[in-house]
Structures are given as structure tokens and as C-alpha cells.
């Protein structure tokens, strides 16, 4: 099955290897946010998700390498593949570094709260925002609201009761009591906070 | 001088090591954007900036390590420092991986254009947008416009004539003919493109 699919790739559209690389790029960007968020919020759940994404990156790298090995002896194709392998392997290294950051949570460091405090600074900040039931965000989708367009802040994960939503998409609907983990410049995050608290009406 | 400063840190406010770590976090996030942008736009200048930031990360890691070594024998402090060293070292590894990506430009790969094409996909996209002289953005600052808040797209670098502005801040003023390297979700980047071309009036 996999063999057939990967042969197709090199025959014509190269869909599968392209998809794998696009996914590795997205995951390598996302895993850094989640790793810093894990130590800022001292969250084992976020750290576990970092490990999950790292495993996904490993599997994708394996798939890209396997596909490359089956490419045969076409020199032009081999040159293309060299570049692809380099990017894929670097994306996987980014994942490893993110895991090093989030594993800080499992080391026996007594004064860990010092770190979150440090990392709240920087160009972009990461914050947890609770959605009040009076908020305009309630029962609306992230895409419908155009959260990132309106505020410049991006929702990287949502905590809902005891469970987490890591796979936040445009279709994700915000519920009262949700805790949004957001990343953005300070002003944007503050705007979103005012909407979450119901202090501001959406679009005003 | 450095000794005095770093003793201060551990005595009271911890300003210097905190600043170093905050800067490492910001740079480790920024360098990934720039590395992917370098290969998407096939830009040696962007790749050079990736190398510059990687050197900055190296120097900051060195400084954090040096400070840690001078901390003395206080066990509580040592525990704090373990965590800090772990984060600092991971941030530097992220820089190394970013350099691996951008160095793709200096390898002799004939079919490199294949890669940029691949990497335009993903959750967030990176694009180059030219600012028309009829655009509302002209002669206004990024902070005054609230670019990220209005569009959700972030300007990660600007090409102005022959030179680059990598240190984009709220105070940076946009000029006609600027090429903005932006990152964001597709809808947000398209909005910003319409403003850049003067097809849409700002705030409408």
C-alpha cells in the first residue's frame, strides 16, 4: 500500500512527500509554541502533546527517508531529495529541542516557577485566557470570528474541563469556561483578553 | 564589569540572566520563520541573517553558562540554574536546526525551486508582499497601523531597495516599494496583500 503510494509520488504529482514535508514544517513551528507554553503554565498535558508531536515528526521523517530511498537512480531526482531530506531532518531536530524544553517539567527542580516568570517576556507572549459566559466568543467558531485577524493573537490550544484541544482549527467552536492558550504580541493578547472577559463587544 | 553585573543578578533582581533567556526565546522563535523564508524566497540575505541570529544565540548561551558557573554553591540557586541552562541550550539547538534549513541555499542542488513550492503550504504561510505607493500603509508605522491586530499577519522582515530590515518593530515606518516578508494564516496574509496593493482602504 505504502509502496504503491510512494511510487506514485515520484511518478507524477509528488503529493505524498510534499504533504509530509508541509506537515513537518507546520508541526516544527507549532511544537516550539507548545513547549514554551508547557513550561510557562507548568502543564504536563502540554508537555505530553509536545512528545506526541515529536513522535509524529519522527514518523514523518522516517516516511520521507523511506520514500527517498525508493526513488531509484535518477540523478536530478536525487538532488531534489537531498534538499527535502535536509529540511525534514532539521524539522525533526527542532522537535527534539522542543522536547528538551518541555522535559524540564519532569526534572526534579524545586524552583521551576522562576522559569515561567522569565518566559512571559519577549516579542511575543504566551498567555492563558478564560472565556466568561458573557463573552461574545461563546458558541462561535474561531474561523467565523477571525480571531487572529481581529486581534493578532493566535489560539494554540484550548483547555475544556478536563480535556485539551490541541488540534485547534477554524471550525473549533469556543465554549464558556474554555481556557484559551494564546500567543501574540502583548497588545493583541490584551485585546483578546478583553473579549474573553466580556469587557468588550466583538468587532468594537 | 560582567562579573559585577552577573553577581547583581543572583543577589537581587536577576535582570541580566532573565534578559538573556527572554532574548533567546524570542530569537529561537524568530529564526525558524526566517529559515523557512530564506528557502521559500531563495534568499541568501535571509540565510545570512539566520546565521547572525544563530551566532547571537551562541553568545547568549555562553553568557548564560558563564553566569551559571559563577553562581557559587547555593543548592537552591543551582536547581534554578539547571532549568535555565536546559531552556537556553534547547533554544540554541533550535538555532542550529534553523541554520541547517537555510544552508540548503548553499548546497549545490539543481532543483531547489521544488522546495519553496512545497513550503508555501501548511497552517501558516510565508509570503513576500510589495507595497504600492497608493497603499494606505505608506509612511505609517507598523505599531500605529496595528498590522498584526488588523490582519493577523506578522511582518518578519522588510526588503527596502538593496538593504534589509530584520529588526522590525512597532516604530518601523513602511515605505512605498518595500517588500514585506509576512507570516500568518492564509486569509490574513491575503487581507494584508489587498492593503499593500492599495486595493483596500485601511480599516475597511
**Residue A143 scores a pLDDT above 50:** yes
- The dihedral through the CA atoms of B154, B121, A101, B4 has a sign that is negative
Q: Residue B140: CB partners within 8 Å, gap ≥ 6?
A: B173, B174
Q: Specify whether B20 is located in the same domain as B93.
A: yes
Domain identity same for B97 and B151? no
Domain boundary among B47, B77, B106: B106
Residue A3, pLDDT > 50, answer no
pLDDT of A79 strictly over 70: yes
- When scoring B36, B61, B83, B111 by the number of chain A Cβ atoms within 10 A, the one with the most, hence best to mutate, is B83
Of A38, A72, A106, the residue at which a domain comes to its end is A106
Both B17 and B40 in one domain: the answer is yes
State the CATH number of the domain containing residue B85: 1.20.58.220
**Closest CA–CA distance from residue B46 to any residue of chain A (Å):** 16
Residue B146 lies in a domain: yes
pLDDT digits (tens, 9 = 90+) for A167-183: 898 899 999 999 999 99
Q: Into how many domains does chain B fold? A: 2
Tell me what the mean pLDDT of segment A60-70 comes to: 88
Q: What is the 3-state secondary structure (H, E, C) of chain A?
A: CHHHHHHHHHHCCCHHHHHHHHHHHHHHHHHHHHHHHHHHCCCHHHHHHHHHHHHHHHHHHHHHHHHHHCCCCCHHHHHHHHHHHHHHHHHHHHHHHHHHHHHHHHCCCCCCCHHHHHHCCCCCEEEEEECCCCCCCCCCEHHHHCHHHHHCCEEEEEEECCEEECCCCCCCECCCCCEEEEEECHHHHHHHHHHHCCCCCCCC
Looking at the DSSP assignment, which residues form a beta bridge with residue B125? B184
In a domain, B90, yes or no: yes
pLDDT at A35 over 60: yes
Q: Which chain A residue lies closest to B151 (C-alpha atoms)? A: A149
Give tens-digit pLDDT for B53-66.
Answer: 999 999 999 998 88
Query: Considering the domain boundaries, does residue B162 fall inside one?
Result: yes
Same domain? For B19 and B91 the reply is yes
B67 shares its domain with B137? no
Q: What is the mean pLDDT of residues A94-105?
A: 92
Whether residue A113 lies inside any domain: the answer is: no
Assess whether pLDDT exceeds 50 at residue B13: no
CA distance A184 to chain B (A): 9
Is A204 part of a structural domain of the chain? no
Verify that B15 and B80 share a domain, yes or no: yes
> A143 and A102, same structural domain?
no
Complex ipTM, two decimals? 0.81
Residues A65 and A154 in one domain: no
Query: Does residue B202 lie in a domain region?
Result: no
Which of the 8 DSSP states describes residue B59?
Answer: H
Distance CA(B18)–CA(B21), nearest Å, equals 5
**Subunit contact B94:A97, Cβ cutoff 8 A:** yes
Q: Are residues A50 and A129 in the same domain?
A: no
Chain B residue closest to A97 (CA)? B90
Range of the domain at B21: 2-106
Compare all CA atoms of chain B with the CA of A38 and give the residue at the minimum distance. B87
Q: Tell whether A173 and A84 lie within a shared domain.
A: no
Q: Is pLDDT larger for residue B81 or for residue B98?
A: B98
**Local confidence band at B202 (pLDDT 50, 70, 90 cut-offs):** confident
Strands A163-165 and A154-160: antiparallel
Which residues of chain A are within 8 Å of residue B54 when distances are taken between CB atoms? Answer: none
Inter-chain residue contact B36 with A30, CB threshold 8 Å: no
Residue B102 falls inside a structural domain: yes
CA distances from A124 to A154, A189, B34 (A): 11, 9, 16
The CATH number of residue B187's host domain is 3.30.70.1450
Instruction: Report d(CA B138, CA B142) in Å as an integer.
Output: 10
If pLDDT is split at 50, 70 and 90, which confidence band does B134 have?
very high
Residue B137 scores a pLDDT above 90:
yes
Task: Assess whether B19 and B54 both reside in one domain.
Answer: yes
**Separation between Cα atoms, residue A36 and residue A39, nearest integer Å:** 5
Banded pLDDT at A13 (limits 50, 70, 90): very low
**Domain end call among A106, A140, A168:** A106
As a whole number of angstroms, the distance between CA B68 and CA B51 comes to: 26
State residue A110's pLDDT score: 60
pLDDT tens digits, residue range A22-31? 899 999 999 9
Which site among A60, A81, A149 would you substitute to test the B interface, given the most B Cβ atoms closer than 10 Å to its Cβ? A149
Interchain CB distance below 8 Å, A87 and B101: yes
Q: Between chains, do A93 and B96 touch, taking CB under 8 Å as contact?
A: yes
Structure confidence by residue, pLDDT tens digits, B97-118 = 999 999 888 776 665 666 776 6
Please say if the pLDDT value at position A101 is more than 70.
yes
Q: Are residues B97 and B129 located together in one domain of the fold? A: no
Q: Is residue B115 part of a domain?
A: no
A98 neighbourhood in chain B, CB within 8 Å:
90, 94
**Cβ-Cβ contacts under 8 Å, B32 against chain A:** 28-29, 32, 94
Amino acid at each position: 500500500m505504502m509502496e504503491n503510494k510512494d511510487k506514485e509520488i515520484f511518478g507524477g504529482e509528488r503529493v505524498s512527500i510534499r504533504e509530509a514535508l508541509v506537515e513537518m514544517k507546520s508541526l516544527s513551528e507549532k511544537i516550539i509554541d507548545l513547549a514554551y507554553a508547557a513550561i510557562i503554565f507548568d502543564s504536563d498535558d502540554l508537555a505530553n502533546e509536545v512528545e506526541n508531536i515529536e513522535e509524529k515528526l519522527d514518523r514523518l521523517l522516517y516516511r520521507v527517508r523511506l520514500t527517498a530511498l525508493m526513488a531509484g537512480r535518477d540523478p536530478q531526482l536525487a538532488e531534489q531529495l537531498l534538499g527535502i531530506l535536509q529540511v525534514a531532518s532539521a524539522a525533526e531536530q527542532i522537535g527534539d529541542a522542543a522536547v528538551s524544553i518541555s522535559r524540564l517539567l519532569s526534572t526534579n527542580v524545586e524552583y521551576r516557577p522562576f522559569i515561567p516568570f522569565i518566559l512571559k517576556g519577549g516579542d511575543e507572549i504566551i498567555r492563558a485566557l478564560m472565556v466568561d459566559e458573557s463573552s461574545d466568543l461563546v458558541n462561535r467558531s474561531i474561523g467565523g470570528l477571525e480571531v487572529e485577524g481581529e486581534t493578532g493573537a493566535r489560539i494554540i490550544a484550548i483547555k475544556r474541563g478536563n480535556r485539551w484541544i490541541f488540534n485547534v482549527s477554524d471550525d473549533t467552536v469556543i465554549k464558556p469556561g474554555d481556557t484559551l492558550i494564546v500567543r501574540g504580541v502583548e497588545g493583541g493578547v490584551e485585546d483578546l483578553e478583553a473579549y474573553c472577559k466580556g469587557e468588550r463587544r466583538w468587532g468594537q
